Amino acid sequence: MSLKGATGLLMVLVAAVGTAASLQRPSAREHVTRDVFRFDAATLKDTTKWTQVNLRPHAIRSQLDALCRAPMAANYEPERKQNPHTGAWITVYVNNVGRQAMFTKEAPVFPQGSVIVKHKVGHGFDERNKTLLYTIMRKREPGYNPDVGDWEFAVVDPDGATVQASGKLENCQMCHVQKAASDFVFRPYVDFK
């Protein structure tokens, strides 16, 4: 074999080894993709993975609820810009990782991997029994978001799968920062027997 032929063969072998190695090792981009927030509301029915925290929907009241007439969805819009839970009924779910902490009465500490889901249903006259959205908290690794206990927040469309936003969402953090004593989780819907 000529030197030119051997060099060509060597280049093919090096390329093949490089391709095989890249197939075994995920690239940095693939690593980031694996950590992208994903959710499927259909999984909430799997009682081996999720616990429904409140057996009946919990009302998040608004001052509009005291009006003599039933408010419409548009009436809640200004308030929901400040608090997306206002004027809604919520059903809360927790995964197995966070279950014990959810039902701990005093000073819970949620372990990394805990996930809390709030399924919001409309309270307005024209949105009753209609899913508005899902809000989700996921406890991340230490240092991820220390100002609010390393929680990641997410908002998912009514379809139960399309993520509108996720991460260190300021609108979520503004409220949750005041609940440091309960690991930044509001729990008025938990029945501590």
In contact, 175 and 135? CB cutoff 8 Å: no
Q: If we measure between CA atoms, which residue out of 158, 160, 81, 171 comes closest to residue 122?
A: 158
Has residue 10 got a pLDDT over 90? no
Rounded CA-CA distance 112/98 in Å is 8
Q: If we measure between CA atoms, which residue out of 6, 97, 116 comes closest to residue 52?
A: 116
What's the farthest any 2 CA atoms get from each other in the chain? 94
Average pLDDT over residues 91-106: 97
pLDDT in tens, 176-188: 999 999 999 999 9
Work out the mean pLDDT of the chain and round it to a whole number.
Answer: 78
In contact, 87 and 60? CB cutoff 8 Å: yes
Q: Which of 35-39, 93-97, 100-104, 140-144 has the lowest mean pLDDT?
A: 35-39
Rounded CA-CA distance 150/111 in Å is 10
Rounded CA-CA distance 127/64 in Å is 14
Percentage of the chain lying above the pLDDT 70 cut? 65
CA distances 85 to 132, 157, 182, 186, Å, are 10, 14, 19, 12
Percentage of the chain lying above the pLDDT 90 cut? 55
Has residue 165 got a pLDDT over 70? yes
Structure confidence at residue 151 (pLDDT): 98
Write phi, then psi, for 122 (nearest 5 degrees). Answer: -60, 150
pTM above 0.85, yes or no: no
